[in-house]
Amino acid sequence: MAHWVSAAFGRMRLGILGVAVALSIAACGSVGVGSGPSQGPTSANPPPGSGTANTPPVISGTPADHVIAGQTYSFTPDASDADGDALTFTITNQPDWATFDASTGQLSGTPTAANAGTFANIQITVSDGQDSAALAAFSVDVLTPLTITGSPTTQLVAGTNYSFVPSTDGSAATLTFAVQNLPPWASFDTSTGELSGTASQAGTFAGIVISVTDGAQTAALPAFTVTVTAPNQGNDPPTISGHPATGVVAGNAYVFTPAAADPNGNPLTFSIQNQPVWASFNPASGTLSGTPTSGQAGTYSNIVISVSDGKLSASLAPFSIKVTAPLTIAGNPATQVVAGKSYSFQPTTNAPAGSVTFSIKNRPAWATFSASSGMLSGTPATAQAGSFAGIVISVSNGVQTVSLPTFTIKVVAPLAISGTPPTAVVAGKGYSFQPTTNAPSGTALTFSIQNKPSWASFSSSTGLLSGTPASNQTGSYSNIGISVSDGTQSSALAAFSITVKSADSTPTISGNPPASVNVGSNYSFTPKASDPNGNSLTFSIQNKPAWASFSTASGSLTGTPAAASAGSYSNIIISVSNGTASAALAPFSIKVNQVSNGSATLTWTPVTENTNGTVLTNLAGYNVHYGTSPNSMNTVVQLDNPSLTTYVVGNLASGTWYFGVAAYTSAGTEGVVSNVGSKTIP
């Protein structure tokens, strides 16, 4: 509740024609007496930050887009600030194998083979504390070290076929092979690395080097020499060639038959060393075949197939066959994620850790993927809402490749519920509120409620809260909560209350009507009234003075009595009604005083601020109090113009009169009367 205090006036000016009165408004929005007219206006200090505009920093640089596992990666951007401000750096989507220096922006680290994969959407930002700038988002591919192996044949007879294909290991999908010191009788395949041909001339062909590159790294075999000897005129050795498969999946058939010939047309027989237990061998054709079981998984090494014409023989290079269990991949990736929330899915396989490589097609732009673990993860932004279709995750052990079924990830905006429920209803009147959501049309939603009023019903399909409270259900229904869920996420309105008001609530009326007016002077009084249910109000009056008029819309009683109207007008009653109930002021009287010749002019300093220095916003006017005793100034003139600073009190009879002024607010509350001035009328 507001309170009212008074303080001493700064000064009082008394003259033959009038009294000077200064007023101000006290704290708490109440009216009281403050300093006099010598008090000047206050002003606020100018706001800070009125200097020149800040210049944003700049950042540049081209980070390397790949690094080989086991080698060091390092990138430091160039950044500057035209204002010389101190700079700090931040990073998003930092690779887990790297460290980041917030003072220099340096991104560095040494990934391992387990980190192989693409680390996408990395972004480095610099800030001067007010503005910022960022590099374009970039990716870093961690590549496994590229290797090349194999044991090329180094001796053959002129006129026989030669063939050698190296083996490679690496994470790149595309490889390019090269050769140095290619024998003139041989050809070279840059896509497979095969060195082949028919040795048409005898001799020594040295310094042969076969290398491979994936565009980022290069590996090479040690230099080797191929010696071609002239054929033996008495008996030439047979030849044998072929490329046996080096792997087979358990349960699948393995078959390899080498190609063999004898320059002299001699019959040939074949033999084998280190024959796998699950395979059979045909000495007439050299065919190695069989179907291994899952229990026979493993590597069968140093297998050698030879051919003989009875005198001379030739052999294939030793080779290995790896029997692997059928490779499997499994998992049920989530098909929906809320923007701003993290997404993570990792498939499972039956292969030993580190023995397989994962790949992905149609990776979402907001996600990263690990080729070593198959982990797909990321946090989409609201701007990336939508469907990301055709995603396929595969795994390979170098022999076989299997894939998950194609799937789609839908990025949905965070579910939101909104609305402003009415907080009051009159008993007997209908109440209705239905919230809205941002869910797309057709989305299956379920609404729920907490602390539902007993008089209301609630729809779980639409969120509609409705009902008509009875007259015995008045009161406050608090902490009502309405929420919505789409099965994946939920959102709730802020808790609210509903007040059920009585249908016949009585309005209120207040005010202090002036008790007197002089003949020829204006009389004005307007009561304050309100209705708890906000109903429209109508005013009425009993025993209205004949010289006055009355407004049924505002309750204002106004008029200027003539000399013939001098006298007392008693038992005046002003009432207000909301159509159902009414309230009235206490009966009051108005004394119309006969005109006298004396007058006094009062002036005062306009009220502009509260005594605590805050700006006054609810000044409504002034009341002038006067009478023939400083302790009995019972005549009051209400001035409903807050801009007035002077008033002439007329019709004063002979004698000494005492005057005071009090300000009042729009709430109808009056402050303490100011210091008292006086004037003697002859």
Per-residue pLDDT of 401-428, as tens digits, reads 999 999 999 998 899 999 999 998 888 8
Q: What is the CA radius of gyration of the chain?
A: 50
Mean pLDDT throughout 464-470?
96
Instruction: Output the six-digit token pair for 512.
Output: 């202090």
State yes or no: pLDDT of 672 exceeds 80.
no
Domains of the chain listed by start with CATH number:
18-39+597-681 (2.60.40.10), 58-143 (2.60.40.10), 329-412 (2.60.40.10), 428-501 (2.60.40.10), 509-593 (2.60.40.10)
Task: Please answer whether residues 109 and 98 qualify as being in contact, where contact means their C-beta atoms are separated by less than 8 angstroms.
Answer: yes
How far apart (Å, rounded) are the C-alpha atoms in residues 391 and 44? 62
Of 483, 488, 491, 487, the closest CA to residue 463 belongs to 483
Percent of the chain surpassing pLDDT 70: 91
Which has the minimum average pLDDT: 62-66, 520-524, 580-584?
Answer: 580-584
Give the Cα-Cα-Cα angle 562, 563, 565 (nearest 5 degrees): 70
Per-residue HEC secondary structure of 512-536 comes to CCCCEEECCCCEEECCEEECCCCCC
- Please state the pTM of the whole predicted model: 0.37
How far apart (Å, rounded) are the C-alpha atoms in residues 621 and 638? 8
How far apart (Å, rounded) are the C-alpha atoms in residues 647 and 624? 8
Instruction: Kindly give the pairing relationship between strand 598-605 and strand 18-22.
Output: parallel
Instruction: Output the six-digit token pair for 380.
Output: 């989409």
Mean pLDDT throughout 137-162?
85
How far apart (Å, rounded) are the C-alpha atoms in residues 307 and 160? 14
Contacts of 219 (CB under 8 A, 6+ apart): 145, 146, 147, 148, 168, 211, 212, 213
Between 554 and 352, the higher pLDDT residue: 554
**pLDDT class of 27 with cuts at 50, 70, 90:** very low
State yes or no: pLDDT of 36 exceeds 70.
no
How high does pLDDT run on average in the chain? 86
How far apart (Å, rounded) are the C-alpha atoms in residues 245 and 256? 7
Query: Side chain identity at 217, as an amino acid letter?
Result: Q
Instruction: Output the six-digit token pair for 355.
Output: 């023995």
Task: Please answer whether residues 68 and 635 qualify as being in contact, where contact means their C-beta atoms are separated by less than 8 angstroms.
Answer: no
**pLDDT class of 552 with cuts at 50, 70, 90:** very high
Which has the minimum average pLDDT: 5-19, 327-341, 606-620?
Answer: 5-19
Of 245, 244, 400, the closest CA to residue 325 belongs to 400
State yes or no: pLDDT of 42 exceeds 70.
no
Of 454, 480, 479, 484, the closest CA to residue 468 belongs to 454
**pLDDT class of 377 with cuts at 50, 70, 90:** very high
How many beta carbons lie within 10 A of that of residue 516, not counting itself?
18
Query: DSSP secondary-structure letter at 93?
Result: S
Instruction: Output the six-digit token pair for 641.
Output: 């113009």
How far apart (Å, rounded) are the C-alpha atoms in residues 456 and 663? 48
State yes or no: pLDDT of 508 exceeds 60.
yes
Instruction: Kindly give the pairing relationship between strand 138-143 and strand 66-68.
Output: parallel
Query: Side chain identity at 261, as an amino acid letter?
Result: A
How far apart (Å, rounded) are the C-alpha atoms in residues 45 and 36? 24
**pLDDT class of 32 with cuts at 50, 70, 90:** very low
Between 24 and 609, the higher pLDDT residue: 609
How far apart (Å, rounded) are the C-alpha atoms in residues 57 and 80? 6
Q: How far is CA 313 from CA 31, 301, 306, in A?
A: 123, 22, 7
**pLDDT class of 313 with cuts at 50, 70, 90:** confident
Task: Please answer whether residues 681 and 595 qualify as being in contact, where contact means their C-beta atoms are separated by less than 8 angstroms.
Answer: no
What was the pLDDT predicted at 233?
A: 62
State yes or no: pLDDT of 653 exceeds 80.
no
Enumerate long-range contacts of 557-560, CB under 8 Å, 24 or more apart: 557/513, 557/523, 557/524, 557/525, 557/526, 558/522, 558/523, 558/524, 558/525, 559/522, 559/523, 560/520, 560/521, 560/522, 560/523
Contacts of 407 (CB under 8 A, 6+ apart): 333, 335, 391, 392
Judged by DSSP in three states, 564 sits in helix
What was the pLDDT predicted at 171?
A: 64
How far apart (Å, rounded) are the C-alpha atoms in residues 153 and 165? 10
Contacts of 353 (CB under 8 A, 6+ apart): none
Element (H, E) at 195: strand 195-198
Residue 564: φ, ψ to 5°? -70, -10
Between 533 and 320, the higher pLDDT residue: 320
How far apart (Å, rounded) are the C-alpha atoms in residues 359 and 361? 7
* Helix and strand counts by DSSP (H, E) for the chain: 0, 69
State the number of CA atoms in the 13 A half-sphere of 12 facing the CB: 16
How many beta carbons lie within 10 A of that of residue 423, not counting itself?
13
